[in-house]
Structure 1
Amino acid sequence: MSPRRHRGMLLLVLCWVLLAACTAQPTTEIAGSRPVDTSARAMLGDLRTLDPCTLADTAALQRFGAVSNAGIVSLDYCLLHLKPDDRTLIQLAVGELTGPDSDRPGDPVVPQGALNIVQNAPVPGHCTRRVRFGDGVSLQVSADLLAGEPGAGLCGIADAGAEAVAGAVQQGRAGHRDFPPNSLALVDPCAVLDTAAVNQVPGLEEARPRPSVGGHQCSWGEQSADAPRVQLQHTAGEPPRILHGAAVEEPVDGRRTVLSVVGGDPQVPLCSAETGHIPFGTVAGQVEVAQLVVAVPGETGTDACAYARGLARLAWPNLPPANP
């Protein structure tokens, strides 16, 4: 996998999101007007095709330093780099959608027009703000310190990013990508991989699929680094490639596939299987990618890759054809 998508994947593997089943249409009363539907779907449209970069306002962040686009590593969020000075590098991820399970008691909530901004408690080197819609779905803005000294003002940057997102949403500036019919973005990953096959992985005998709010990820297992888990996500970026000696390239169901022990240490029981799909976006060389990640604590990376290979053999035939 590409180094940038590798970093994004490690974050995603640790953050499993659930889809909230909301049947009522939440509304917000605004003085002097009729109630407004503040659900995520009403304000953002089709969540599968949302372009999170249309909500990332670089002008609102320039007071903190030089801002640049960090490239595409996910369909679910927009990645920016911010340099307050020559020694500090901050990464800002804008747009990941999470469900009501992200709420934690005691987190301050600040009204922002018809929406709310939830201020998650910061941890060293990381700060998250969530723009919460009326149905409990949130759009996340996270700032991470990649280089430099602590105290880089991460929460101030996350605050500015979240306020810009809330403003863009309420001004109707949420844009959408135009995907072809055979795009992975339009395919439910929970329908690609049979849960009965996932249940063959040790520790996942009773696991049920959990779709993400944006519709690009499906996970089985607990949200814990020491728990068995499987995740299938549809993403985008550079084509999969071999980055270290604990990776191999081989055909799986006729698709070029890279199997890689995450981090390159064969003793780490975490493996990814990736296959490229159709071209993505306007940057030459970028493609959509199906990425399957398997964790089997107590076993080796070789064992994890054996499970990843087996699951990929069952999943890849259910992907849309690259040339319909």
Structure 2
Amino acid sequence: MRGGTGEVWHAEDTRLPRTVVLKRAAFRDDRSGAFDRLWSEARAQARFGHPHVVTLHDIVEEEADGQVTSWLVLEHVPGGSLDGWPAMSPEAAARVGAQIAAALAALHDQGIVHCDVKPGNIVVTADSTAKLADFGAAYRLGGTDTITPNGPVSHTPAFAAPEVLRGHPEPASDVYSLGATVYALATGAPPGAEPEYDGLGPLGGVLDAMMQAAPEDRPGPDEARRMLDDIAGTEQPEPPGHAAPTDNDGPGAVGGRTTAWGRPAAFVRRHPRPVAAVVVAVAAVAVAAAVVIPSGGQEAPARRKPASLIGDPRTADPCALADPAALGRFGEAELDNDYGNFDRCDVLVSVGEAEHDVIDVRIGMATGAGPESGGGPARTIGRVRVVAEAPEEGECGRMLVLPSPDGGTTVSIDARQTDEPPAGAAPAPLCPIADTAVASAAAVLNRGPLPRRTPPFPPQSLAHKDTCTMLGNDALDVVPGIDARDPEIDYGGWGCEWHSTTQDIQVKLRFDRGQPLTAEDGSPTRLGGRRAFVEPDGEGGGTCLVRVVHRTYADQHGDDAIEMLFLVVQGEPPTERLCSMATSLAGAAAARLPAA
């Protein structure tokens, strides 16, 4: 498929396996300019993960006969773009807008402005989750790290803010473009010079605010998300029965011709990170990219791709995988959906009278493709592969490896004793408990997509934030050798980790939930106007733990519970130095917390 800025090919990664999209520049007469635009697009998406942004898996170069071609390897979103969809209800359009506004808030926190938000650059998953695509027009604010200069193809006039048309884009420009996009989704056409809001109800007022002529009069993306989310309620966009390709070949495009091509001579990388395994995988993708053409010249019918079982990580409900009734045969079982980070759900099983007889069955979502080889015994339950993890004292674990297109997500199920049993006590049936929980979870996954959280997280919850955006380079400068742009991102963006390249120091930041904190949880202080607790060696020797309280809410029993930042600095420096760094980092993160 060929368009205004490049060619897009569908491909099958035969090693992982998963469907991906390969994108390369459309060369025409300006080969160097085409390469620059493609690498610019990669820089805009690199090291950035968000559930409402299309994922950039890799960028590679193919070298053959002295010529080098650059390729982006992108997430395949089977639902296609929103370009050409018939008008949807104001509530459904607001749902799309709220999701993309969340993506824009995260991008702006990273200093990235998209510059071309429009229906053709929004793709939808099988469960109607919207994702922002095509960063070919994006740029980074400030300094010399410009991603792309403004030019005749850097925006779409029907959706561009007035300042963009004048050549001066800024973050507020994306809010304007999103307002114009939501308007088009709800009415079937972009707004004219004088938009008509009749029939849009409360959405009309929100769009009017988002499309104010002066950038300073528009809401920020977080405020726009909250307003759109309130209007949307539980509404979701319904696919019209077709998937439209983006007009400039964004990564969600589907339905175009795909041409067979041969094995590349080599892939050459221009960045130093160890990537041998990925290069092999992408080489396999390239070989598998062809669609077989019958001798009669007709394309073979497209194979229907399986729908995602997980969908949007932030709305998928891990508690839907739990079955307390099935675990009830071991003792009294109670679901706890307010335990730890947002990526988990726990069932507490009382197998006896003593405290050590309480078993915590933890169901956790994680990023990663699972073990490539080795590990414990494996078996298959329907579409789900179950791998037994190495046994540990007081714990029995299993990993559920999901089929394509969810190869980047795993589900861990661990049965753990909450307290160490006394000597001579009979062992708890940890592995039978874990296997019972596995059977229930696999049954849910094999029936179809994981149900959504009901009710959804409230607007003020940390569940809507990304931990990696809570700390920038300025804050992380207190730790030698850490690059804020190179984090390890956990499931849902709810955990982030940075490693120093010059010293044995790592920073771990995650969101957490639990009971209200007291002086037993560390030395009380205030950071960023919030209550905080500093605990030397709080995560074992050579660590310093800082917890910052975000908000208090009522848990499932009506008792007080809190959401908090959970920050750990771990390494070789003395504990006093670790706590100095941890307190500084926690204060910077606390300053970025939303209103509680």
Task: Give the TM-score band, short-chain normalised.
Answer: 0.7 to 0.9
Aligned to 1:154: 430
Pair 1:270 & 2:544 matched? yes
Change (3 A) 1:227 1:205: same
Change (3 A) 1:106 1:93: closer
1:58 is aligned, of 303, 313, 324, to: 324
Which consecutive residues of structure 1, in runs of 5 or more, have no partner in the other structure? Answer: 1-17, 27-33
After the TM superposition, which residues 64-75 of structure 1 pair with which residues of structure 2 at under 5 Å, given as runs? 64-69=330-335, 72-74=338-340, 75=342
Aligned to 1:166: 442
Higher relative contact order (CA 8 A, sep 6+): 1
Write 1 or 2 for the structure with the bigger share of strand.
Answer: 1
Pair 1:175 & 2:452 matched? yes
Pair 1:23 & 2:81 matched? no
Change (3 A) 1:144 1:103: farther
Distance 2:323 2:463 in 1: 24
* 8 A Cα contact 2:497 2:509, kept in partner: yes
Equivalent residue letter for 1:299:
P
For residues 11-34 of structure 1, what are the alpha-carbon distances to aligned partners after superposition, in whole Å with 9 as ceiling and x for unaligned? xxxxxxx999472479xxxxxxx8
Greater mean alpha carbon deviation, residues 73-82 or residues 192-201: 192-201
1:109 shift after superposition = 2.6
Pair 1:200 & 2:488 matched? no
Equivalent residue letter for 1:289:
M
Aligned to 2:506: 229
Distance 1:86 1:307 in 2: 44
Aligned to 2:11: none
For residues 198-219 of structure 1, what are the alpha-carbon distances to aligned partners after superposition, in whole Å with 9 as ceiling and x for unaligned? 3532464699311102321111
Distance 1:155 1:36 in 2: 35
1:37 is aligned, of 299, 306, 317, to: 306
1:49 is aligned, of 300, 307, 315, to: 315
1:36 shift after superposition = 5.7
Greater mean alpha carbon deviation, residues 184-193 or residues 252-261: 252-261
Percent of aligned pairs sharing the same letter:
29
* 8 A Cα contact 2:516 2:561, kept in partner: yes
After the TM superposition, which residues 83-162 of structure 1 pair with which residues of structure 2 at under 5 Å, given as runs? 83-87=350-354, 88-100=357-369, 103-134=372-403, 135-136=406-407, 137-146=409-418, 147-148=420-421, 149=425, 151-162=427-438
1:196 shift after superposition = 5.1
Aligned to 2:582: 308
1:220 shift after superposition = 1.4
- The count of corresponding residues between Structure 1 and Structure 2 is 289
3-state SS, counterpart of residue 175 of structure 1: coil
* 8 A Cα contact 2:376 2:389, kept in partner: yes
Distance 1:254 1:241 in 2: 17
RMSD: 3.2
Change (3 A) 1:220 1:44: same
For residues 189-242 of structure 1, what are the alpha-carbon distances to aligned partners after superposition, in whole Å with 9 as ceiling and x for unaligned? 1011114533532464699311102321111139xxx95221111222223332
Pair 1:251 & 2:518 matched? no
Which consecutive residues of structure 2, in runs of 5 or more, have no partner in the other structure? Answer: 1-48, 58-73, 79-302
* 8 A Cα contact 1:242 1:260, kept in partner: no
For residues 283-310 of structure 1, what are the alpha-carbon distances to aligned partners after superposition, in whole Å with 9 as ceiling and x for unaligned? 342232122221233411x332211111
The 4+ residue runs of structure 1 with deviation greater than 6 A are: none
Change (3 A) 1:229 1:182: same
Change (3 A) 1:184 1:117: same
3-state SS, counterpart of residue 100 of structure 1: coil
With normalisation by structure 1, the TM-score equals 0.76
Change (3 A) 1:199 1:167: farther
With normalisation by structure 2, the TM-score equals 0.44
* 8 A Cα contact 2:399 2:410, kept in partner: yes
